[in-house]
Amino acid sequence: MGASQMLSSGAGEPVADCVVDSMVCSHCGLDLPLSMFYAYRNAYLSRCKKCHGLAQKTCRMCAGVFEGKSNQSFCSTACRRASRPQTFKFCAHCKKLFGPVSHLSTRYCSTACKCDGQRKDQPKPRQRPTHQARAAQSAIARAIKDGKIRRPDVCSECEKAGRIEAAHHDYGAPFDVRWLCRSCHAKWDWSQPKGGTLGTLWRRNSSNPITTSAVNAAI
């Protein structure tokens, strides 16, 4: 049915124009404005937008008959959820089996496990050299700069060339060193700690460090 309709006399000549601003839906029977209908070429479809595409369908889950769109396969949300495969998972925190889960991204069985599992651990203490270690390193650096000590070209442990560092036996004797590459220096310090570093925890919004010894004493 068009948006406008021409009225004519018995002789076939138009006598007046009648503007139609509503239509009756052929499916639901409601008298609705033309904006509720889809336009096709120079006319409007007989069904309103709400009833467009509706048909009698059979639910894939309960086999019940319902009226739905072409892309609907279930009569209700309950049938759609029941058709999904049941998935059970192990909690990422307590390792307990739970389910069925509503989303595959679920990792925790409860809010308590989620809070415990996402709680951040205490940050690892930062290592900074002690005053004695810093003084010994500065003494070696000044001696190399003044030409009193020559830095070797190869590591005394693995005999590889590269960045050679002065590894102290004792920071109280700053010139008693081994000339090692960075890798051998790190391995030696891990196997035989010299006490040249101190673990610190930095206060938030403060430049003053808290030593790990102070934290242990407070505990």
Pair 61, 139 in one domain? no
Q: What is the domain range of residue 198?
A: 126-218
pLDDT at 1: 43
Which among 67, 83, 104 is the end of a domain? 67
Which among 67, 94, 115 is the end of a domain? 67
Which among 26, 43, 67 is the end of a domain? 67
For 33-59, the pLDDT digits (tens) are 999 999 988 899 999 998 988 888 899
44 domain residue, yes or no: yes
48 domain residue, yes or no: yes
pLDDT at 125: 72
Q: What is the dihedral of CA 82, 84, 85, 89, to 10 degrees?
A: -90
7 domain residue, yes or no: yes
- Please report which confidence band the pLDDT of residue 214 belongs to, taking 50, 70 and 90 as the band edges: very low
Give the C-alpha separation, 71 to 55, whole Å.
11
98 domain residue, yes or no: no
150 domain residue, yes or no: yes
Percentage, residues of the chain above pLDDT 70:
80
Residue with tokens 């595959």: 104
User: Of 217 and 175, which is predicted with more confidence?
Assistant: 175
For 61-85, the pLDDT digits (tens) are 898 999 888 888 899 888 888 887 8
C-alpha separations of 154 from 147, 162, 163, 167, 168 in Å: 18, 7, 8, 14, 17
Assessment of whether the complete model's pTM goes beyond 0.75:
no
79 domain residue, yes or no: no
Q: What are phi and psi of 158, to 5 degrees?
A: -105, -5
